[in-house]
Amino acid sequence: MLHSSNEHQLPSSTEGRKIATLPSRQQQVASSFNHDSKNTKMKSAIISSKRDDSVYDIDVNSYRYLSTTSHRKFVPLSINSSSKGEVSFYDIDYIVNGRKMKCKCPNICPSFLKEKPAKQILYGLSGNFKTGMHAIMGSTGCGKSSLLDILAHRKDRHGLSGQIFVDGSPAPSSFKYMVGYVVQDDIISETLTIRENLMFSANIRLPRDVSHVERVERVIKVISDLGLESCADTTVGTEFIRGVSGGERKRACIGMELILARKIFFLDEPTTGLDAATARKVMKCLSNLAKQGRTIIFSIHQPRYSIFKLFDTVTLLSEGEMLYHGQAKNLLNYFSQQGYSCEPHDNPADFVIDVLIDAQERPGALENLRLAYEKSSMHQHVMKLRKQQFIDVNLQIRTSRKSVKPTISLWNEFYYICLRTLKNTFRNPSLILSQIVVSIILGLLVGLVFFDLKKTTDPGVQNRLGVIFVIVVTQIFSTLTALEPLIKERALFIHENASGYYRTITFFCAKFLCDILLIRVIVSILFSLIIYFMTGFERDIGKFGVFLITIFMASLFGSSMCLLVAATVRLFSVAVIIVILNFLIVMLFSGYLIALKSIFSWLSWLQWVSAFRYATNMLTMSEFRNIDFCLVNSTNICPLPGSQVLHNVGLDYTTNWDLWKNFFGLSMMTVGLFLLAYIQLLRIKKTK
C-alpha cells in the first residue's frame, strides 16, 4: 500500500491538469464502495496503521504505506510457493516536493537556494500485470522510471499515494526484497568472474538449509538459462581489465536476482548502452524467463521491432498520465481508432512515441488521448479488478503479513563478503597496486632528498624537522588514491544493501578488515622500511617501532576521511575537493607552519582535531629524544641536546605519556571518523 498522509498543493502552473490537490485516500476508497450495498462495513473504514519490525502491519481498513524500521536482510526465497506473480496498482500519484526560498536576494541567489515549486510526476495511474513481458514506454521525462521504482518499492514514499497489490493482497513492506530489481547501470563486482558473482549471490542469499552442492547447481542452471556458458569464468571487467561484453554483463546482473527464483522482475532500461543485436539477446533472454511463469516489468524507450514483438503488454505514459495499458498486439489498432495510422514499414514503438510527442505539441490532443483511454475497455477492466480486490482485501489481508527470517548467520555473511573483498582487493590494480607503487615512489623520492641526515646543529635539526613534516603529509595525502575505488563501491553497496544482500555492519567490517586495514599495513611497512633507513634516522628498534605505528595511524586516518567522504558524496570530483580541503585545514594547525600561540583564540581549538599535529609530535619526540647535535665538522663538541630542540618547538618530553597521548588523540580521531562513516552508510538513501 502506498499513501501520503499530507495533501500537496500544486503550483498555479499546473492548473488544467487532471489533479490539482490530491484527495484523501480515505475518500477515494470510500467512494469506490458507495454503490455496493454488500460492503457497508468497508465504507466506514478508518485509515490506521501499525508498524511492524519487518513487514507492513496493515489494518483491514487501512490503505497507508509506512516505511519499515527494518531494512536488513530478511529475504524469502520467493513471494510464496503458490504466487501467481500478479502486480496490480491503483491511483498512483507522485509529487516531488518543492522547497521554500532560502535567500533574501532572489536576483543574486544561487539556483540551489531559490524557491522550487512542487511538481506532480504521476497522475492517478492504475493497471495490472500478470505473467509475461510488460513494457512501460514513453518519451523522456514521462515518468516511466518513476512508476517502475514505485511498483518495486524503490521510491521515497514522500509525496507518494496509491495502492499496490500482489496476487490480490496488499504488498507487504518486505516486497522489495521479494522481487528481482536490475538497475540501468549494470552494478556488479567487476573484478570477479560471472560465476563468482553468481556464487556470491547464492551463498549470501539462499536459505541456510540449502547445501553447497545445491547452491552450485543453482548457479549452473542460472548460467545455462541466461546463455552465459561461454563467458562464465571470464572477469566482468574494469577500465584496466578486459572483460565480458555489455550484453553478457547485463545478463549477469539479471542472474544475480535470478538466483532466488524470483517470480517478479523489475528492470530499468535493460537495453540502454547496448547495440541492436545485443539488446535483442538480452530481451530474448527475458522473454524466455517470462515463458517460465515469471512477471517481467521493465521501462524501455524505443525498442526495435524484433524486440517489440516480444512484449505481451505495453503501458504508454505521457507527462505522467496513462494513455494505453493493454495487449501489445492491439496497440496499432487502438491508435488507428483514435485517428493515428501507422505506415506498414514503420516500427510500432517508434510510431507511438512519435504520436505522443506530436500530441504534446498540439493543444488538446493529449487530453483527448487520455479521455479516450479512460473510456476504453482496457481501463474499465482495470477498474473492475480494483473494485474486486478492495472487496476481497478483508479475506486476504492476513496472508500479506507473512513473517520472514534472515537467510544466513551474521558470521557467514561476514565471511562471504570478506572473501569477495579480498579477491577485489588483489585483483583491482587501482586498489592495491597503485597505492603500493605510490608509496614506493614517494619513499624513494623523499629518501633521496633527505638522504643520510647528519647530526649537526645547523642543517641537521632543520632537515630532521622538515623530513618529519614531509613524511606525515605524503602519507596522509597518498590515501587519496583510495578515494575513487571507494566512490565506485558506494553504488554497489547501495544496490546490494537495498536488495537485501547483507547488513550494513558486515559490509563495513569486511571493507575495513580486508581492504582498508590490509592495504594500510602493507603500504605503511614498505614506506617505513624505505624512508627510515635512507634518511638516517636513529638505528633504534624502539624508535623504529614508534615510527612504523605513527605512519600506519596517519595512513589509517587518511583512509577514514576518504571513507567518510565517499559514503557522503556521490561525485568523485566533489569528494576530492572535500578531502583535500579537510587535509589542508588540519595541516595548517599542526604547529609546523605557524606557532599555535599566535592563532586567533576562536580558531585555536582546531589544533585538537589536527591529525597532522598528533603524528608530527609523535615522530619529533621519538626522533629527538636521547640524541645530541654537534657543531659542523665536529664530532666532539655537541652543545645542543635533542630535549632542547623539543623545547624550542614547543614540545616537552618528560614521561612516555607525553609521547603516547598523541597516539591516543590520533587513534580517537581515526576511530571517530570510521564511526561517522558507518553511521553515514546506515543513513545513505536506499530509495530514489
Residues 255-307 have pLDDT tens digits of 999 998 888 999 999 988 888 888 999 999 999 999 999 999 999 988 999 99
22 or 99, greater pLDDT: 99
Residue 113's pLDDT is what?
A: 57
pLDDT at 398 over 80: no
pLDDT digits (tens, 9 = 90+) for 293-352: 999 999 998 899 999 999 999 999 999 999 999 999 999 999 999 989 888 888 999 999
Work out the number of other CB atoms within 10 angstroms of the CB of residue 156.
16
pLDDT at 677 over 90: yes
Mean pLDDT of 100-117: 60
In angstroms, the CA 26 to CA 269 distance is 35
Residue written as grid cell 545445491: 214
Among 141-150, 166-175, 387-396, 633-642, the range of highest mean pLDDT: 141-150
pLDDT digits (tens, 9 = 90+) for 614-652: 999 999 998 888 777 765 665 555 567 767 778 777 787
Query: What is the location of CATH 3.40.50.300 in the chain?
Result: 175-360
Burial string for 472-502 (b: 16+ CB within 10 Å, else e) reads: bbbbbbbbbbbbbbbbbbbebbbbbbbbbbb
pLDDT digits (tens, 9 = 90+) for 154-200: 888 888 888 899 988 888 888 888 889 998 888 999 999 999 999 99
Give the range among 78-87, 211-220, 335-344, 456-465 with minimum mean pLDDT: 78-87
Mean pLDDT of 80-84: 60
Residue 266's pLDDT is what?
A: 94
Task: Note the helical H segments in 362-513.
Answer: 365-375, 377-396, 410-427, 434-449, 459-477, 483-498, 504-511
CA angle 236, 175, 202 (to 5 degrees): 35
pLDDT tier for residue 392 given thresholds of 50, 70 and 90: low
Q: Give the largest CA-CA distance in the chain.
A: 111
Residue 646's pLDDT is what?
A: 80
Of the CA atoms within 13 Å of residue 528, those in its CB half-sphere come to: 22
pLDDT tier for residue 14 given thresholds of 50, 70 and 90: very low
Residue written as grid cell 465504507: 43
239 or 379, greater pLDDT: 379
Burial string for 174-211 (b: 16+ CB within 10 Å, else e) reads: bbbbbbbbbbbebbbbbbbbbbbbbbbbbbbbbeeebe
Q: How many residues does the chain have?
A: 688
In angstroms, the CA 378 to CA 376 distance is 5
pLDDT digits (tens, 9 = 90+) for 501-549: 999 999 999 999 998 999 999 999 999 999 999 998 888 899 999 999 9
Among candidates 336, 337, 334, which has minimal Cα distance to 324? 334
Phi-psi region of 177 (alpha: psi -120 to 50; beta: other; left: phi over 0): alpha
Give me the architecture of the 175-360 domain, per CATH.
Answer: 3-Layer(aba) Sandwich (3.40)
pLDDT at 15 over 70: no
Strands 295-299 and 132-138 come out as parallel
In angstroms, the CA 284 to CA 274 distance is 14
Work out the number of other CB atoms within 10 angstroms of the CB of residue 613.
23
Residue 72's pLDDT is what?
A: 34
Residue written as grid cell 541492436: 276
In angstroms, the CA 526 to CA 530 distance is 6
Among candidates 591, 563, 528, 519, which has minimal Cα distance to 671? 563
pLDDT at 28 over 90: no
61 or 504, greater pLDDT: 504
Residue 652's pLDDT is what?
A: 77
pLDDT at 668 over 50: yes
Mean pLDDT of 96-106: 62
366 or 688, greater pLDDT: 366
What is the average pLDDT value for the chain, to the nearest integer?
81
Residue 568's pLDDT is what?
A: 92
- Contact by Cβ (8 Å): 176, 15: no
pLDDT at 60 over 90: no
% residues pLDDT > 70 (the chain):
80
